[in-house]
Amino acid sequence: MKKIMISAAIISGLMILSCALLFAAVGCTLNDPDRDIKRIFPGSTGYKTEFITIEERGGEKLKNRVEERLGDKFERVYETIDVPYAYYIIMKGKDTIGHVHGVNQKGIYGGMQLILATDPEGRIVDFYYQKLSSPEAAKFRSRSFTDQFKGLTLEDFYKIDEPGSRISGIKDPTEKNTEDFKATIRGLKKNLILLDEFMLDKRSDLKYDKESKP
């Protein structure tokens, strides 16, 4: 009986590890880009898709800089430098009118997929959870919560601890899942940092030295 119990425990552990590695191995792409992009940018005439990894854009040096800007270390399983990030470049004729991009973020009950739509300057146009495992998912997904992030930029996330800042007024919509709220904030900040690094030429990093580009 003990051998059976041990074997079951080992198998269970391997299944969990396998799921974690599978989650880490892929980036966060839109389930239905044609539908989602038209909903967010009804005036768009098309879009282009680009896949970018930290590894190809700067490797460990870039990873270290993103971690410094984030104020947190990458999770070893979920945030490897070879994960591809999908960027949907939204067009209206020949003009770029925005971007749609997502990140995977580890939550209490599993992986989150946090999707942001931003204007050409990096300002949030829309935010939603494409994936969220939580007993209070409805509260997180509610527009009364997600709409509070509209209009915010990366600079706002740097001010989260400043009393009176707009982002400091956004509170956990639940009573029991504070860690998932913190994970959401971290994931959104990381999402905007990567946008800034990959697509916006680091314009939102006031400490960034142009001569230190990888």
Question: pLDDT, tens digit, for every residue of 113-142?
Answer: 999 999 999 999 999 999 999 999 999 999
Q: What pLDDT does 77 receive? A: 81
Q: Can you tell me the distance from the alpha carbon of 77 to that of 33, in angstroms, rounded to the nearest whole number?
A: 27
Burial class (CB in 10 A: 0-12, 13-18, 19+), 8: exposed
Q: What pLDDT does 26 receive? A: 63
Q: Which two tokens stand for residue 170?
A: 């956004």
Do β-strands 124-131 and 111-118 pair in parallel, antiparallel, or remain unpaired?
antiparallel
Residue 99 near residue 117 (C-beta atoms within 8 A): yes
Residue whose tokens read 């709409």: 147
Residue spans per domain, the chain? 2-212
Q: What pLDDT does 10 receive? A: 39
Q: What is the CA radius of gyration of the chain?
A: 18
Task: State which residues of the chain have pLDDT below 70.
Answer: 1-26, 203-214
Q: What pLDDT does 206 receive? A: 52
Q: What pLDDT does 139 receive? A: 97
Q: What pLDDT does 13 receive? A: 38
Alpha-helix residue ranges (DSSP H) falling in the chain: 2-25, 33-40, 54-57, 59-70, 137-141, 143-146, 154-158, 178-198
Beta bridge partners of 101: 87, 116
In the chain the first and final C-alpha atoms are separated, in Å, by: 57
